[in-house]
Structures are given as structure tokens and as C-alpha cells.
Amino acid sequence: MSRDRLRIATYNLQKCVGLDLRRRPDRSLAVLGATGAQIAVLQEADKRLPPRPAALPHAMAEAEGWHVADLGEPGGSLGWHGNAILVRDGIEVVETGHIELPGLEPRGAVWIVAQTVLGPVRVIGTHLGLVRRYRLLQLAAIRRTLEHLPKVPVVMAGDFNEWGDEAPLQAQLRDLRLVPAGPNYPAPRPVAALDRFALGPGLRADTPVAHVASPARVASDHLPVWLDVVRDS
């Protein structure tokens, strides 16, 4: 990979429970590591009920060479509302935060500002709701939050839960551009592009890649998706 590229992956871990119904965080980490990502945006990294202990143990992630961004939820959680962000050596996390999202389901977004080969980049991780009306409200909430934060190039990644037309999502994102993506769900035979990226001004990327190598097709019901981001010259 070129030195002027930043590889970011998004992966819904399904609480590290595979399609074989076994909870194997070691397997989830092996799949994630095989993507070659320098920053990993995770969903369903915690168990569902309070205090939401980590399904992917913090110590296990660090033993595999990841640094876990401190997103501030107590009780053994890896992140916030199941969202977590991991970074490799050479990526310095200088700021973190989270965003409350509207909707009937408990949903949220997290963000970091990281010093990278591209300079400072704000990486946002989210897991949008199951109902489109709320997905649109949630994207609008993220956009409004960004309008009040210092201007830094933005990459948003996560499980958008969108099966249909992406145009309404793009209308809410405005300056953030959805990156065309191929299917990654369900993992054994993907038909839907649920896990997506959006880029802010100053950045560009090629088509995202769904990681299909074994054991990705059994480790979760989602395949991880990665993207190489470069500066938009």
C-alpha cells in the first residue's frame, strides 16, 4: 500500500458471534487484521444489555496490535452504543467524541480526530437504525454536529442499514459524498451494501472492497469492507 494512502475498514462484528453460533473474538480479530486496515470502525463490539461489556475484549484487541480509542463509556464497554474505533501504530488519536442520535432504538455515533499520513482526519463511526425515517434523522444529526466542529477532512463509516435508494441518504449528508459500494451482506452470499463510507471535501477513494477470505464468511453476518483514502489534489 502506498505511503500516502490511509486504509480504513468498517466491520459489524455481530458481537463476535459467527454464523456457526460460536462467539470467537479471536476469529473476528483475525478477519479484521487480514483487511490491512490502519483504522477500524466497528459496530456491535459490545454485548446488548447494560453495562454492555465488550464482546471484543479490550486486552485481546491490544494483544493483536490495535489501540482502542477511549470513547468514554464505563462498565467494560469497548466503545459507545456498540460503536468502537481501533487504530494501528503510527496513528495518533488526538481527540474523541460521540453523538446522540434520534430514533426509537438506542443509537449513537462516535468520532476521533487522528493524526495520519494524510494529516489530521476526523473518522466517524455509526450504526444507523432499521427504519429509514430515523436513518435520515440520524444522518442529519451527524451533519449538524459536524457543522459545529473544527473543519478537518472527514471519513464516515459504518453499518448504514440501507437496502434501497441511497439518494435520500446523500441528500442528508450534503457535502459528505457517499462512496459507491458493492454488496457485503449477508456474508455467505452478499446482496446488499449495508456497510458504507462517506467522504468529506479534500479526500477521495477508489471503490470499497469487501473482504471475503476465510473465515470472513462465517465470522459475522457482515463482511468487513475496507477503503484506501487519499488526499484530493
When pLDDT is averaged across residues 64-75 and rounded to a whole number, the result is 86
The 3-class secondary structure across 106-128, one letter per residue, is CEEEEEEEEEECCEEEEEEEEEC
Strands 195-199 and 154-159: antiparallel
The superfamily CATH assigns to domain 6-231 is Endonuclease/exonuclease/phosphatase (3.60.10.10)
With cut-offs at 50, 70 and 90, classify the pLDDT of residue 66.
very high
pLDDT for 233 beyond 90: no
Omega within 30 of 0 (cis) for the link into 51: yes
Contact 43, 79 (CB under 8 A): no
Annotated domain spans of the chain = 6-231
pLDDT in tens, 202-230: 999 999 999 999 999 999 999 999 999 99
With cut-offs at 50, 70 and 90, classify the pLDDT of residue 5.
very high
pLDDT in tens, 74-125: 667 888 889 999 999 999 999 999 999 998 888 899 999 999 999 999 999 9
Contact 223, 185 (CB under 8 A): yes
pLDDT for 1 beyond 90: no
When pLDDT is averaged across residues 122-131 and rounded to a whole number, the result is 97
Contact 85, 112 (CB under 8 A): yes
When pLDDT is averaged across residues 156-171 and rounded to a whole number, the result is 96
How far is 151 from 103, CA to CA, in rounded Å? 27
Greatest CA separation for the chain: 46
How far is 91 from 71, CA to CA, in rounded Å? 16
Q: Report angle CA 85, 2, 158 to the nearest 5 degrees.
A: 25
